[in-house]
Amino acid sequence: MTLKGLLTVLKESFLRLSPVYLIKNPTMFLAELAFFIALVYSAATGLRSPYAIAIIVLLFLTVWFGTLSDAFSEFKTKSAADLLISAASSYTARKVDPRSGAEVIVSAEMLRPGDIIEVRAGEIIPIDGVIVEGEAAIDESLVTGESVPVIKSANDEVIGGSKVVSDSIKVKVVKSLEESFVIRVARLISSSKRPRGENERALHVLVSMFAVLFSTIIIFLYLLLMAEGVVPNPLILMAFYVCLLPTTIGALEEAIGISGIAKLLQMKVIAKSGKAVENAGDVDVVLLDKTGTVTIGKREPVRIVPLKGHTEKEVAEAAFLSSVQDDTPEGKAIIRFLQSKGYISGDLDSAMRSSYEEFSAKTRKSGVFLKLVDGKGKEVYRSFGLIRKSDLFGLYLNGEIPVFKGAPDIMKKMFKVPDDFDEKVNEIARNGSSPLAVAYYDEVIGLIELKDVLKEGVKEKIRLLKSMGIELQLITGDHRLTAEAIAKELGVDKFVPEARPEDKHSIAMNEQKKGKVIAMVGDGVNDAPALAIANVGLAMNSGTNVAKEAANMVDLESDPSKLIEVVLVGKRLLTTRGSITAFSIANDISKYFVVLPALIAFLPSAARLDVLGLPLHVAVISALIYNAFIIPALIPLAIRGVPIRAGTPLEIFTWNFLIYGVGGIVLPFLAIKGIGMLIMLMHLV
């Protein structure tokens, strides 16, 4: 944190000491009231002893550490916005004149959609755009948090704030700086509000009830002392009162809530309310799309499967001929795969001159019609072992040879298939892959196995969610064999194959009727009804406005797999809140038995309760020191969150209760005894 940031946090923390601000937090408001009572009493009686001053200072620190926690937590969130805005405003660009090719350096604010800029190795991409020329490794860590550079080429989108690691690219600007991704995120962070969720409101009521209870105890204790003829010292009484109040959770309650919103913002996920984050922690069922959520969404070739009477090389050559002009991601992936296997060898020029039929959703196939290059009948395809002399003779007669790839069911209708066609197709499907049929002349000669690779770490995250008792359902448009194989690989017990987008709605409704909390992801108009009824609905920013309006969370990066991360953030938030609450209440119980025996030492039974054996003035000041400084000590934990571990909800609760509940009882005794002994050893009071 910079000096300026530190001063901002300190200023904000002092402004929040206003009773008008603190009234929304009854615990800290009562602690501040106790401070004012002690201060007024000390001023009215002229009490200026070091002991009295120490009590007043410690009472003030207790309250101030609470407002400091709030201010620091919000600063951590808002500073991200300031960093993005200042960075984006300082960017410059090398603008290229489309006519002359001349370059001129301009600020990012001067760029307009349609402008062409060049970005070289080591330079920052100043604004959102699309690559029109070149290929480069790009570091997007500033905006995505992913430290590994990604390779991007023509037609790929780039985000302002990313850094070109190698080579150079020309980028067409698609947005003004004010509309860019970085500025949009910064504004959302700056303007984000955090309404309380139901769990937080319930905790707020519980903590307030404890505050009322301990206020009642203090009043009763005051009356008891008066009845015994003992005139209580208001300073000591107020000190004891503040020690009893659940100030730890009262001070950190806001910081814990802010941390959940902040973690989502770091993931570029905007939560529309605190309730949405809490719902993520209560999720019972997660509805998972396959493509893009658990898989990378890009099918990659992994195997060539020749059919009866044909060789792998023949299938590879046919796949090359049908893909060499295919600009789809799948077509490019096949060419890369064939290159890696050393199968690219042949007359590329001839292949490029053949008549190409593009892939369409209607035909579900693509390929070429091989033709003679010149009228002399030159055997231009002789470098392909696939093409027989008899086939070349056919070229003279018919003028073309079809070489196609496509969906097995479509290809089966158009071409002859060997006896083992269905068997091989089903075998690939059982592997969780997709078969792509390759045909040459009038027959399907082989298959290419395409696999949509699982995202890195997704199996571990799913395993963690399952261990918490969360049910996962895989929803996919794939046929049953593929869906079953993917579900088995992921460890997901339930799956819905051949699902339509609207099926999510009925599934979500049926699960909610069972009283379950549902999380799902979507981006289309068809997804909107399901997103609206889901307890946690994550919409993609690239999706329709209807979907984004219906959902209670929006992912600016449009990555469906974040649904799993969102649920884990919610679980961590609830775990953190529960753990610190258990610690705080356990602390109060311990401090009660530390200070009370010393306060009522005149009663015959008090000696049995005096575990630490500290004099009253030492016990009070030691408890106050511990009570005040435990708050800043726990701020990092509140912001970072309590680590979540594998296990059922009961196992997690039991573990955290033992660590934070029992620890919250034992720690005050040890810490206060240690502080008290140090005070007496140094004769400080």
pLDDT digits (tens, 9 = 90+) for 178-194: 777 666 666 655 554 44
- Give the residue, 605 or 420, on which the prediction is more confident: 420
Helix H, strand E, coil C: the string for 572-629 is HHHHHHHHHHHHHHHHHHHHHHHHHHHHCCCCCCHHHHCCCCCCHHHHHHHHHHHHHH
Residue-level pLDDT at 376: 42
Q: Comparing 93-102, 378-387, 407-416, which segment has the lowest mean pLDDT?
A: 378-387
Helix H, strand E, coil C: the string for 446-496 is EEEEEEEEECCCHHHHHHHHHHCCCEEEEECCCCHHHHHHHHHHHCCCEEE
Q: What is the average pLDDT score of the chain?
A: 80
What is this structure's pTM? 0.64
Using the predicted structure, report yes or no on whether residue 668 has a pLDDT greater than 50: yes
- Give all domains of the chain, ordered by start, each with its CATH number: 3-78+189-264+569-681 (no CATH), 88-177 (2.70.150.10), 280-294+455-555 (3.40.50.1000), 298-453 (3.40.1110.10)
Block residue for tokens 């991360």: 565
Give the residue numbers marked as catalytic. 289
Token pair belonging to 307? 């059919």
Using the predicted structure, report yes or no on whether residue 424 has a pLDDT greater than 90: yes
Residue-level pLDDT at 63: 93
Using the predicted structure, report yes or no on whether residue 306 has a pLDDT greater than 90: yes
Mean pLDDT (whole number) for 121-135:
87
Mean pLDDT (whole number) for 563-587:
86
Q: Comparing 286-290, 547-551, 594-598, 647-651, which segment has the lowest mean pLDDT?
A: 594-598
Planar angle of CA 450, 452, 458, nearest 5 degrees: 155
Total residues belonging to the chain: 685
